[in-house]
Protein backbone atom coordinates (compact mmCIF):
# COMPACT_ATOMS: atom_id res chain seq x y z
CA UNK A 1 0.00 0.00 0.00
CA UNK A 2 2.82 2.39 0.89
CA UNK A 3 4.45 1.69 -2.43
CA UNK A 4 1.21 2.48 -4.27
CA UNK A 5 0.76 5.69 -2.23
CA UNK A 6 4.29 6.78 -3.02
CA UNK A 7 3.56 6.38 -6.76
CA UNK A 8 0.14 8.05 -6.80
CA UNK A 9 0.54 10.56 -4.02
CA UNK A 10 3.96 12.08 -4.55
CA UNK A 11 4.33 15.71 -3.63
CA UNK A 12 6.71 18.25 -4.89
CA UNK A 13 7.67 21.82 -4.08
CA UNK A 14 6.84 24.61 -6.52
CA UNK A 15 10.13 26.21 -7.64
CA UNK A 16 8.46 29.61 -7.44
CA UNK A 17 6.16 29.80 -4.36
CA UNK A 18 7.55 26.78 -2.49
CA UNK A 19 4.04 25.43 -2.00
CA UNK A 20 3.77 21.66 -1.89
CA UNK A 21 1.62 20.22 -4.63
CA UNK A 22 0.63 16.78 -5.75
CA UNK A 23 2.82 15.62 -8.58
CA UNK A 24 0.56 13.57 -10.79
CA UNK A 25 2.46 13.90 -14.04
CA UNK A 26 5.50 15.37 -15.72
CA UNK A 27 3.32 18.10 -17.19
CA UNK A 28 4.07 20.27 -14.16
CA UNK A 29 7.52 20.90 -15.62
CA UNK A 30 8.28 24.17 -17.39
CA UNK A 31 9.39 23.13 -20.88
CA UNK A 32 12.03 25.85 -20.86
CA UNK A 33 13.79 25.83 -17.48
CA UNK A 34 12.68 22.24 -16.68
CA UNK A 35 11.81 23.08 -13.05
CA UNK A 36 8.55 22.06 -11.38
CA UNK A 37 5.81 24.61 -10.78
CA UNK A 38 2.36 24.57 -9.23
CA UNK A 39 -0.70 25.45 -11.28
CA UNK A 40 -0.78 29.05 -10.07
CA UNK A 41 2.83 29.72 -10.97
CA UNK A 42 2.65 28.28 -14.46
CA UNK A 43 0.78 28.63 -17.74
CA UNK A 44 -0.54 25.82 -19.87
CA UNK A 45 -0.60 26.50 -23.61
CA UNK A 46 -2.34 24.32 -26.17
CA UNK A 47 -0.62 23.27 -29.36
CA UNK A 48 -2.06 25.34 -32.28
CA UNK A 49 -3.07 22.21 -34.21
CA UNK A 50 -3.09 19.34 -31.74
CA UNK A 51 -4.95 21.28 -29.04
CA UNK A 52 -5.29 19.56 -25.68
CA UNK A 53 -3.41 16.49 -26.99
CA UNK A 54 -0.09 18.28 -26.81
CA UNK A 55 -0.21 21.12 -24.29
CA UNK A 56 2.95 22.71 -22.96
CA UNK A 57 3.53 24.24 -19.58
CA UNK A 58 5.74 27.21 -18.83
CA UNK A 59 6.62 28.91 -15.57
CA UNK A 60 5.44 32.54 -15.59
CA UNK A 61 8.91 34.02 -15.85
CA UNK A 62 10.00 31.87 -18.84
CA UNK A 63 6.65 32.50 -20.50
CA UNK A 64 6.87 36.27 -20.10
CA UNK A 65 10.54 36.49 -20.98
CA UNK A 66 9.94 35.20 -24.51
CA UNK A 67 10.40 38.11 -26.92
CA UNK A 68 7.55 37.76 -29.39
CA UNK A 69 9.67 37.81 -32.56
CA UNK A 70 13.00 36.15 -31.91
CA UNK A 71 11.93 33.71 -29.28
CA UNK A 72 14.78 31.88 -27.66
CA UNK A 73 14.54 28.77 -25.56
CA UNK A 74 16.76 27.86 -22.60
CA UNK A 75 17.76 24.22 -22.63
CA UNK A 76 18.32 22.22 -19.44
CA UNK A 77 22.03 22.98 -19.60
CA UNK A 78 21.31 26.70 -19.76
CA UNK A 79 22.14 27.16 -23.45
CA UNK A 80 19.94 29.38 -25.59
CA UNK A 81 18.51 27.95 -28.77
CA UNK A 82 15.97 29.17 -31.34
CA UNK A 83 12.47 28.19 -30.51
CA UNK A 84 9.31 27.24 -32.37
CA UNK A 85 6.63 29.89 -32.97
CA UNK A 86 4.43 27.96 -30.56
CA UNK A 87 6.52 29.17 -27.66
CA UNK A 88 5.92 32.78 -28.50
CA UNK A 89 4.02 34.73 -25.90
CA UNK A 90 0.81 36.21 -27.24
CA UNK A 91 1.12 39.92 -27.95
CA UNK A 92 -1.24 42.31 -26.25
CA UNK A 93 -3.35 44.67 -28.38
CA UNK A 94 -1.20 47.62 -27.23
CA UNK A 95 1.98 45.86 -28.36
CA UNK A 96 0.38 44.99 -31.68
CA UNK A 97 -0.66 48.61 -32.15
CA UNK A 98 2.91 49.75 -31.61
CA UNK A 99 4.04 47.54 -34.47
CA UNK A 100 1.50 48.97 -36.92
CA UNK A 101 2.90 51.51 -39.40
CA UNK A 102 2.32 55.21 -38.83
CA UNK A 103 -1.04 56.42 -40.07
CA UNK A 104 -2.73 53.01 -39.88
CA UNK A 105 -5.92 54.71 -38.68
CA UNK A 106 -6.25 56.32 -42.17
CA UNK A 107 -6.29 52.87 -43.68
CA UNK A 108 -9.13 51.86 -41.39
CA UNK A 109 -11.27 54.93 -42.05
CA UNK A 110 -10.61 54.56 -45.80
CA UNK A 111 -12.47 51.25 -45.82
CA UNK A 112 -15.55 52.95 -44.33
CA UNK A 113 -15.04 52.32 -40.60
CA UNK A 114 -15.87 55.50 -38.68
CA UNK A 115 -13.65 56.93 -35.95
CA UNK A 116 -16.31 56.04 -33.35
CA UNK A 117 -16.39 52.41 -34.51
CA UNK A 118 -12.61 52.36 -34.47
CA UNK A 119 -12.53 53.57 -30.86
CA UNK A 120 -15.21 51.09 -29.82
CA UNK A 121 -13.60 48.02 -31.42
CA UNK A 122 -10.00 49.12 -31.33
CA UNK A 123 -8.54 45.85 -30.03
CA UNK A 124 -10.12 43.65 -32.66
CA UNK A 125 -9.36 46.13 -35.48
CA UNK A 126 -5.73 46.33 -34.35
CA UNK A 127 -5.69 42.52 -34.34
CA UNK A 128 -6.99 42.38 -37.91
CA UNK A 129 -4.59 45.07 -39.08
CA UNK A 130 -1.56 43.39 -37.60
CA UNK A 131 -2.67 40.10 -39.13
CA UNK A 132 -2.93 41.79 -42.54
CA UNK A 133 0.50 43.26 -42.24
CA UNK A 134 1.91 40.03 -40.88
CA UNK A 135 3.72 37.85 -43.33
CA UNK A 136 7.23 39.12 -42.71
CA UNK A 137 9.15 35.91 -43.08
CA UNK A 138 12.29 35.19 -41.08
CA UNK A 139 15.37 35.87 -43.17
CA UNK A 140 16.65 32.56 -44.57
CA UNK A 141 20.26 31.44 -44.44
CA UNK A 142 22.13 31.22 -47.75
CA UNK A 143 22.11 27.44 -47.46
CA UNK A 144 18.39 27.10 -46.86
CA UNK A 145 17.64 29.56 -49.66
CA UNK A 146 19.87 27.67 -52.13
CA UNK A 147 18.11 24.47 -51.14
CA UNK A 148 14.64 26.00 -51.67
CA UNK A 149 15.81 27.37 -54.99
CA UNK A 150 17.13 24.07 -56.27
CA UNK A 151 13.93 22.32 -55.18
CA UNK A 152 11.66 24.82 -56.89
CA UNK A 153 13.40 25.39 -60.23
CA UNK A 154 12.77 22.70 -62.74
CA UNK A 155 13.99 23.10 -66.33
CA UNK A 156 12.23 20.71 -68.70
CA UNK A 157 14.54 19.10 -71.25
CA UNK A 158 11.93 18.59 -73.98
CA UNK A 159 11.33 20.72 -77.08
CA UNK A 160 8.96 23.58 -76.06
CA UNK A 161 8.01 24.16 -79.70
CA UNK A 162 6.10 20.87 -79.61
CA UNK A 163 3.69 22.58 -77.21
CA UNK A 164 4.09 26.32 -77.81
CA UNK A 165 3.51 27.75 -81.23
CA UNK A 166 5.22 31.11 -81.78
CA UNK A 167 2.65 33.69 -82.94
CA UNK A 168 4.77 36.86 -83.08
CA UNK A 169 7.71 38.62 -81.52
CA UNK A 170 6.88 41.20 -78.81
CA UNK A 171 10.28 42.64 -78.26
CA UNK A 172 13.95 42.21 -77.74
CA UNK A 173 15.60 42.61 -74.35
CA UNK A 174 19.26 42.83 -73.43
CA UNK A 175 19.39 39.09 -72.80
CA UNK A 176 16.91 37.58 -75.27
CA UNK A 177 13.70 37.87 -77.25
CA UNK A 178 10.11 37.78 -76.06
CA UNK A 179 7.32 36.18 -78.13
CA UNK A 180 3.57 35.72 -77.94
CA UNK A 181 3.00 31.96 -78.04
CA UNK A 182 -0.03 29.69 -78.09
CA UNK A 183 -0.20 26.47 -76.10
CA UNK A 184 -1.50 23.92 -78.61
CA UNK A 185 -2.94 21.76 -75.80
CA UNK A 186 -5.31 24.37 -74.36
CA UNK A 187 -5.12 27.21 -76.93
CA UNK A 188 -4.11 29.71 -74.25
CA UNK A 189 -1.66 32.46 -75.13
CA UNK A 190 1.49 33.17 -73.10
CA UNK A 191 4.65 35.23 -73.32
CA UNK A 192 7.80 33.24 -73.96
CA UNK A 193 11.24 34.64 -73.27
CA UNK A 194 14.04 32.82 -75.11
CA UNK A 195 17.60 33.40 -73.99
CA UNK A 196 20.83 31.79 -75.18
CA UNK A 197 23.23 31.90 -72.20
CA UNK A 198 26.71 32.93 -73.30
CA UNK A 199 28.48 31.13 -70.46
CA UNK A 200 27.91 29.28 -67.18
CA UNK A 201 27.75 32.51 -65.20
CA UNK A 202 24.95 33.89 -67.36
CA UNK A 203 23.17 30.55 -67.15
CA UNK A 204 23.36 30.71 -63.37
CA UNK A 205 21.94 34.25 -63.48
CA UNK A 206 19.00 33.09 -65.60
CA UNK A 207 18.28 30.23 -63.19
CA UNK A 208 18.42 32.79 -60.36
CA UNK A 209 15.92 34.98 -62.26
CA UNK A 210 13.58 32.00 -62.73
CA UNK A 211 13.91 30.94 -59.08
CA UNK A 212 13.13 34.40 -57.74
CA UNK A 213 10.15 34.71 -60.09
CA UNK A 214 8.85 31.31 -58.97
CA UNK A 215 9.33 32.12 -55.28
CA UNK A 216 7.72 35.55 -55.64
CA UNK A 217 4.34 34.51 -57.08
CA UNK A 218 1.73 37.04 -56.00
CA UNK A 219 -1.19 38.87 -57.71
CA UNK A 220 1.15 41.80 -58.39
CA UNK A 221 3.99 39.74 -59.82
CA UNK A 222 3.99 38.30 -63.34
CA UNK A 223 2.71 34.70 -63.20
CA UNK A 224 5.22 32.05 -64.09
CA UNK A 225 4.30 28.79 -65.86
CA UNK A 226 7.33 26.74 -66.82
CA UNK A 227 10.83 26.75 -68.28
CA UNK A 228 12.78 24.64 -70.67
CA UNK A 229 16.46 24.03 -71.25
CA UNK A 230 16.52 22.96 -74.86
CA UNK A 231 18.78 23.32 -77.87
CA UNK A 232 21.17 25.76 -76.18
CA UNK A 233 18.37 28.14 -75.13
CA UNK A 234 16.52 28.70 -71.87
CA UNK A 235 12.83 29.20 -72.61
CA UNK A 236 10.68 30.84 -69.91
CA UNK A 237 6.89 30.76 -70.23
CA UNK A 238 5.06 33.50 -68.33
CA UNK A 239 1.69 35.24 -68.33
CA UNK A 240 1.05 37.43 -71.36
CA UNK A 241 0.42 41.10 -70.60
CA UNK A 242 -0.59 43.95 -72.89
CA UNK A 243 2.76 45.70 -72.52
CA UNK A 244 4.77 47.77 -70.11
CA UNK A 245 4.12 51.07 -68.38
CA UNK A 246 6.76 52.82 -70.53
CA UNK A 247 4.56 52.43 -73.63
CA UNK A 248 1.71 54.17 -71.81
CA UNK A 249 3.96 56.89 -70.37
CA UNK A 250 5.54 57.70 -73.74
CA UNK A 251 2.08 58.34 -75.13
CA UNK A 252 0.14 59.72 -72.19
CA UNK A 253 2.57 61.23 -69.66
CA UNK A 254 1.14 64.10 -67.68
CA UNK A 255 -2.34 63.05 -68.81
CA UNK A 256 -2.70 59.94 -66.67
CA UNK A 257 -5.25 60.99 -64.02
CA UNK A 258 -3.74 61.25 -60.56
CA UNK A 259 -6.06 58.63 -59.07
CA UNK A 260 -4.87 56.15 -61.71
CA UNK A 261 -1.24 56.96 -60.95
CA UNK A 262 -2.12 56.27 -57.30
CA UNK A 263 -3.70 52.95 -58.32
CA UNK A 264 -0.61 51.94 -60.35
CA UNK A 265 1.59 52.90 -57.39
CA UNK A 266 -0.56 50.87 -54.99
CA UNK A 267 -0.28 47.78 -57.15
CA UNK A 268 3.49 48.20 -57.47
CA UNK A 269 3.88 48.68 -53.70
CA UNK A 270 1.73 45.63 -53.00
CA UNK A 271 4.10 43.60 -55.15
CA UNK A 272 7.09 45.22 -53.47
CA UNK A 273 5.71 44.72 -49.95
CA UNK A 274 5.33 41.04 -50.74
CA UNK A 275 8.94 40.81 -51.96
CA UNK A 276 10.28 42.89 -49.08
CA UNK A 277 8.48 40.76 -46.47
CA UNK A 278 10.55 37.89 -47.82
CA UNK A 279 13.74 40.00 -47.66
CA UNK A 280 13.96 40.13 -51.43
CA UNK A 281 15.02 43.19 -53.48
CA UNK A 282 13.87 43.66 -57.07
CA UNK A 283 16.71 46.11 -57.87
CA UNK A 284 15.36 47.13 -61.28
CA UNK A 285 12.08 48.89 -60.65
CA UNK A 286 11.36 51.15 -63.64
CA UNK A 287 8.39 51.65 -65.95
CA UNK A 288 9.77 49.04 -68.42
CA UNK A 289 9.44 46.38 -65.72
CA UNK A 290 5.91 47.30 -64.66
CA UNK A 291 3.61 45.29 -66.91
CA UNK A 292 -0.01 46.21 -67.54
CA UNK A 293 -2.98 44.35 -69.04
CA UNK A 294 -6.15 45.65 -70.68
CA UNK A 295 -8.25 44.43 -67.76
CA UNK A 296 -6.39 46.91 -65.54
CA UNK A 297 -3.89 44.59 -63.83
CA UNK A 298 -0.46 45.92 -62.86
CA UNK A 299 2.40 43.45 -62.24
CA UNK A 300 6.11 43.46 -61.61
CA UNK A 301 8.25 41.60 -64.10
CA UNK A 302 11.92 41.01 -64.94
CA UNK A 303 13.60 39.51 -61.88
CA UNK A 304 16.96 39.52 -63.70
CA UNK A 305 18.61 41.70 -61.04
CA UNK A 306 16.54 40.53 -58.06
CA UNK A 307 18.43 39.43 -54.96
CA UNK A 308 17.57 37.49 -51.84
CA UNK A 309 18.91 38.83 -48.55
CA UNK A 310 20.03 36.09 -46.20
CA UNK A 311 21.33 35.86 -42.65
CA UNK A 312 24.78 35.46 -44.20
CA UNK A 313 24.34 38.60 -46.34
CA UNK A 314 21.62 40.92 -45.06
CA UNK A 315 22.78 43.88 -47.14
CA UNK A 316 24.00 44.15 -50.73
CA UNK A 317 26.54 46.50 -52.27
CA UNK A 318 26.83 45.44 -55.93
CA UNK A 319 25.99 48.32 -58.24
CA UNK A 320 23.23 46.97 -60.50
CA UNK A 321 20.11 48.42 -62.04
CA UNK A 322 19.43 51.17 -64.57
CA UNK A 323 21.19 54.50 -63.82
CA UNK A 324 18.28 56.98 -63.77
CA UNK A 325 16.28 54.79 -61.37
CA UNK A 326 19.14 53.89 -59.01
CA UNK A 327 19.02 54.94 -55.36
CA UNK A 328 21.85 57.17 -54.03
CA UNK A 329 23.17 54.54 -51.58
CA UNK A 330 23.39 51.98 -54.40
CA UNK A 331 25.14 54.40 -56.76
CA UNK A 332 27.91 55.12 -54.25
CA UNK A 333 28.48 51.43 -53.53
CA UNK A 334 27.29 51.54 -49.88
CA UNK A 335 25.48 48.64 -48.28
CA UNK A 336 21.83 48.74 -49.27
CA UNK A 337 18.62 46.80 -48.78
CA UNK A 338 14.96 46.76 -49.89
CA UNK A 339 14.73 50.56 -49.61
CA UNK A 340 16.42 50.95 -53.03
CA UNK A 341 13.16 49.73 -54.63
CA UNK A 342 11.25 52.52 -52.90
CA UNK A 343 13.53 55.19 -54.40
CA UNK A 344 13.04 53.64 -57.86
CA UNK A 345 9.27 53.69 -57.35
CA UNK A 346 9.52 57.45 -56.68
CA UNK A 347 11.33 57.81 -60.01
CA UNK A 348 8.56 55.82 -61.77
CA UNK A 349 6.07 58.37 -60.38
CA UNK A 350 8.14 61.21 -61.86
CA UNK A 351 8.16 59.32 -65.15
CA UNK A 352 4.35 59.08 -65.13
CA UNK A 353 3.96 62.77 -64.31
CA UNK A 354 6.74 64.22 -66.42
CA UNK A 355 7.42 61.70 -69.18
CA UNK A 356 10.92 60.60 -68.23
CA UNK A 357 13.13 60.07 -65.20
CA UNK A 358 15.51 62.81 -64.05
CA UNK A 359 18.94 62.89 -65.70
CA UNK A 360 17.87 60.54 -68.53
CA UNK A 361 19.49 62.83 -71.09
CA UNK A 362 22.74 63.09 -69.16
CA UNK A 363 25.72 60.87 -69.80
CA UNK A 364 25.21 57.84 -67.44
CA UNK A 365 28.33 58.74 -65.42
CA UNK A 366 27.06 62.30 -64.88
CA UNK A 367 23.58 60.94 -64.04
CA UNK A 368 25.07 58.72 -61.30
CA UNK A 369 27.09 61.64 -59.96
CA UNK A 370 23.97 63.85 -59.83
CA UNK A 371 21.89 61.16 -58.09
CA UNK A 372 24.54 60.88 -55.41
CA UNK A 373 25.29 64.57 -54.95
CA UNK A 374 22.23 66.66 -55.88
CA UNK A 375 19.13 67.25 -53.77
CA UNK A 376 16.49 64.56 -54.36
CA UNK A 377 14.39 65.21 -57.49
CA UNK A 378 10.87 66.55 -57.05
CA UNK A 379 7.73 67.01 -59.17
CA UNK A 380 8.45 70.10 -61.29
CA UNK A 381 4.97 71.57 -61.62
CA UNK A 382 4.09 72.23 -57.98
CA UNK A 383 0.62 73.62 -58.71
CA UNK A 384 -0.58 70.84 -61.01
CA UNK A 385 -0.47 68.02 -58.44
CA UNK A 386 -2.25 67.33 -55.16
CA UNK A 387 -0.52 67.64 -51.78
CA UNK A 388 -0.93 63.87 -51.25
CA UNK A 389 0.82 63.08 -54.53
CA UNK A 390 3.69 65.47 -53.82
CA UNK A 391 4.09 64.15 -50.29
CA UNK A 392 4.05 60.53 -51.52
CA UNK A 393 6.82 61.23 -54.06
CA UNK A 394 8.80 63.03 -51.37
CA UNK A 395 8.53 60.05 -49.02
CA UNK A 396 9.94 57.75 -51.72
CA UNK A 397 12.73 60.09 -52.74
CA UNK A 398 14.50 60.53 -49.41
CA UNK A 399 18.26 60.25 -49.83
CA UNK A 400 18.93 58.68 -46.42
CA UNK A 401 17.58 55.09 -46.73
CA UNK A 402 16.82 54.81 -43.00
CA UNK A 403 14.53 57.82 -43.27
CA UNK A 404 12.90 56.65 -46.50
CA UNK A 405 9.44 55.08 -46.07
CA UNK A 406 9.11 51.30 -46.25
CA UNK A 407 6.63 49.56 -48.55
CA UNK A 408 4.36 48.86 -45.55
CA UNK A 409 4.35 52.51 -44.51
CA UNK A 410 3.62 53.67 -48.05
CA UNK A 411 0.58 51.40 -48.19
CA UNK A 412 -0.94 53.56 -45.46
CA UNK A 413 -0.18 56.90 -47.16
CA UNK A 414 -3.36 58.90 -47.99
CA UNK A 415 -2.35 58.94 -51.69
CA UNK A 416 -2.71 55.14 -51.67
CA UNK A 417 -5.45 54.75 -49.08
CA UNK A 418 -7.74 57.04 -51.11
CA UNK A 419 -7.47 55.01 -54.33
CA UNK A 420 -11.11 54.59 -55.48
CA UNK A 421 -12.56 51.11 -55.07
CA UNK A 422 -13.24 50.82 -58.82
CA UNK A 423 -9.76 52.00 -59.81
CA UNK A 424 -8.93 48.73 -61.58
CA UNK A 425 -12.00 49.12 -63.85
CA UNK A 426 -11.19 52.81 -64.39
CA UNK A 427 -7.65 51.91 -65.38
CA UNK A 428 -8.95 49.19 -67.69
CA UNK A 429 -11.26 51.70 -69.43
CA UNK A 430 -8.40 54.19 -69.71
CA UNK A 431 -6.13 51.54 -71.28
CA UNK A 432 -8.79 50.33 -73.71
CA UNK A 433 -9.47 53.88 -74.88
CA UNK A 434 -5.76 54.42 -75.26
CA UNK A 435 -5.33 51.17 -77.22
CA UNK A 436 -8.23 52.12 -79.51
CA UNK A 437 -6.83 55.58 -80.15
CA UNK A 438 -3.52 53.97 -81.15
CA UNK A 439 -5.27 51.64 -83.58
CA UNK A 440 -6.98 54.55 -85.34
N1 LIG B 1 4.93 38.86 -70.06
C2 LIG B 1 4.99 39.79 -70.98
N3 LIG B 1 3.90 40.17 -71.62
C4 LIG B 1 3.96 41.14 -72.56
N5 LIG B 1 5.10 41.77 -72.90
C6 LIG B 1 6.22 41.43 -72.28
C7 LIG B 1 6.25 40.42 -71.29
N8 LIG B 1 7.51 40.29 -70.83
C9 LIG B 1 8.25 41.17 -71.51
N10 LIG B 1 7.48 41.85 -72.39
C11 LIG B 1 7.93 42.89 -73.31
O12 LIG B 1 8.95 42.35 -74.13
C13 LIG B 1 9.98 43.32 -74.33
C14 LIG B 1 11.31 42.71 -73.96
O15 LIG B 1 11.25 42.28 -72.61
P16 LIG B 1 12.50 41.97 -71.75
O17 LIG B 1 12.10 41.77 -70.35
O18 LIG B 1 13.32 40.93 -72.40
O19 LIG B 1 13.14 43.37 -72.00
P20 LIG B 1 14.13 44.17 -71.21
O21 LIG B 1 13.47 44.60 -69.93
O22 LIG B 1 14.63 45.23 -72.13
O23 LIG B 1 15.17 43.04 -70.98
P24 LIG B 1 16.47 43.01 -70.15
O25 LIG B 1 16.12 43.67 -68.85
O26 LIG B 1 16.74 41.57 -70.08
O27 LIG B 1 17.45 43.81 -70.97
C28 LIG B 1 9.60 44.52 -73.52
O29 LIG B 1 8.99 45.46 -74.39
C30 LIG B 1 8.59 44.01 -72.53
O31 LIG B 1 7.64 45.00 -72.20
Q: What pLDDT, in 10s, does the model give residues 188-215?
A: 999 999 999 999 999 988 999 999 999 9
Report residue 86's pLDDT band, with 50, 70 and 90 as the boundaries: very low
At 132 the pLDDT is: 55
Mean pLDDT throughout 52-58? Answer: 68
| Ligand 1 within 6 A of CB of 329 | no
At 8 the pLDDT is: 45
More confident residue, 89 or 98: 98
| Ligand 1 within 6 A of CB of 82 | no
Nearest CA to ligand 1 atom 23: 173
At 25 the pLDDT is: 53
Nearest CA to ligand 1 atom 12: 171
| Residues 264 and 277: beta-carbon distance below 8 Å | no
Report which of 366, 365, 322, 363 is spatially closest to residue 344, judged by C-alpha positions: 322
Q: What pLDDT, in 10s, does the model give residues 122-131?
A: 765 675 566 4
Residue 384, marked binder: no
CA 292 to chain centre: 19
Q: Dihedral of the CA atoms 401, 402, 404, 406 (nearest 10)?
A: 110
At 330 the pLDDT is: 92
Q: Where are the domains of the chain?
A: 2-68+96-134, 143-238, 243-439
Closest ligand 1 atom, residue 239 Cα: 1
Q: Strand ranges (DSSP E) for 48-109?
A: 51-59, 72-74, 80-82
More confident residue, 48 or 46: 46
- 138 pLDDT exceeds 50? yes
Q: What pLDDT, in 10s, does the model give residues 301-346?
A: 999 999 999 888 888 988 888 999 999 999 988 999 999 999 999 9
| Ligand 1 within 6 A of CB of 288 | yes
- Going from the Cα of 175 to the center of ligand 1, the distance in angstroms, rounded, reads 10
- 154 pLDDT exceeds 90? no
More confident residue, 114 or 53: 114
Active site residues: 284
- Pocket probe mutation, ligand 1, options 168, 169, 170, max atoms within 8 Å of Cβ: 170
CB atoms near residue 151 (< 10 Å): 9
Closest ligand 1 atom, residue 174 Cα: 27
- Going from the Cα of 68 to the center of ligand 1, the distance in angstroms, rounded, reads 43
At 133 the pLDDT is: 60
Q: Strand ranges (DSSP E) for 213-311?
A: 224-230, 233-238, 243-244, 280-281, 290-292, 298-300, 307-308
| Residues 55 and 46: beta-carbon distance below 8 Å | yes
Report residue 168's pLDDT band, with 50, 70 and 90 as the boundaries: very high
- 26 pLDDT exceeds 70? no
Q: What is the CATH number of domain 2-68+96-134?
A: 3.30.40.10
Report which of 270, 263, 281, 177 is spatially closest to residue 221, judged by C-alpha positions: 270
| Ligand 1 within 6 A of CB of 227 | no
| Ligand 1 within 6 A of CB of 240 | yes
At 145 the pLDDT is: 84
Q: Would you give the DSSP letter of residue 168?
A: E
Report residue 27's pLDDT band, with 50, 70 and 90 as the boundaries: low
Report residue 72's pLDDT band, with 50, 70 and 90 as the boundaries: very low
Collapsed DSSP state (helix, strand, coil) of residue 233: strand
Longest dimension (CA), the chain: 102
According to CATH, the superfamily of the domain at 143-238 is Phosphorylase Kinase; domain 1 (3.30.200.20)
Q: What is the reported pTM? A: 0.72
**178: left (phi > 0), else alpha (psi -120 to 50), else beta?**
beta
At 313 the pLDDT is: 86
Q: What's the chain's average pLDDT?
A: 84
Q: Which of 143-157, 278-292, 373-387 has the lowest mean pLDDT?
A: 143-157
| Ligand 1 within 6 A of CB of 243 | yes
Compute the chain's Rg from CA coordinates.
27
Closest ligand 1 atom, residue 244 Cα: 31
- Going from the Cα of 289 to the center of ligand 1, the distance in angstroms, rounded, reads 7
More confident residue, 23 or 181: 181
- 68 pLDDT exceeds 70? no
Strand order in the sheet with 290-292: 243-244, 290-292, 298-300
| Ligand 1 within 6 A of CB of 170 | yes
Report residue 234's pLDDT band, with 50, 70 and 90 as the boundaries: very high
According to CATH, the superfamily of the domain at 243-439 is Transferase(Phosphotransferase) domain 1 (1.10.510.10)
Nearest CA to ligand 1 atom 6: 243
- Going from the Cα of 178 to the center of ligand 1, the distance in angstroms, rounded, reads 6
- Pocket probe mutation, ligand 1, options 190, 301, 431, max atoms within 8 Å of Cβ: 301
Report residue 50's pLDDT band, with 50, 70 and 90 as the boundaries: low
Q: Which of 141-145, 148-152, 178-182, 263-267 has the lowest mean pLDDT?
A: 148-152
| Residues 178 and 189: beta-carbon distance below 8 Å | no
Q: What pLDDT, in 10s, does the model give residues 393-436?
A: 999 999 999 999 999 999 999 999 999 999 999 999 999 999 99
- 67 pLDDT exceeds 60? no
Alpha helices in 223-314 (DSSP H): 245-252, 258-277
At 82 the pLDDT is: 29
Q: Which of 116-120, 292-296, 415-419 has the lowest mean pLDDT?
A: 116-120
More confident residue, 230 or 19: 230
Amino acid sequence: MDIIASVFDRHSKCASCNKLFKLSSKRRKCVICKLLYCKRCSVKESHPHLGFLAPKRYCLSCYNEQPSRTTKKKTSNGQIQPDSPMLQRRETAAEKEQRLPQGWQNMVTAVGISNEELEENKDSIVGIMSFMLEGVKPMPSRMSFDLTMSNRVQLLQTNPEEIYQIIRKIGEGGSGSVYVVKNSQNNETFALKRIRPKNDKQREEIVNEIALTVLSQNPNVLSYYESYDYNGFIWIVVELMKGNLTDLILDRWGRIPENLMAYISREVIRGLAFLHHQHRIHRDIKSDNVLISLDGKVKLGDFGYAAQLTTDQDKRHTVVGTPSWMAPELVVGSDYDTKVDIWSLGIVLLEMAEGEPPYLRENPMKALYLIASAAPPRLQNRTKWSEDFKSFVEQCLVKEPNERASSDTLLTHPFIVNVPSDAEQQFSRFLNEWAQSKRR
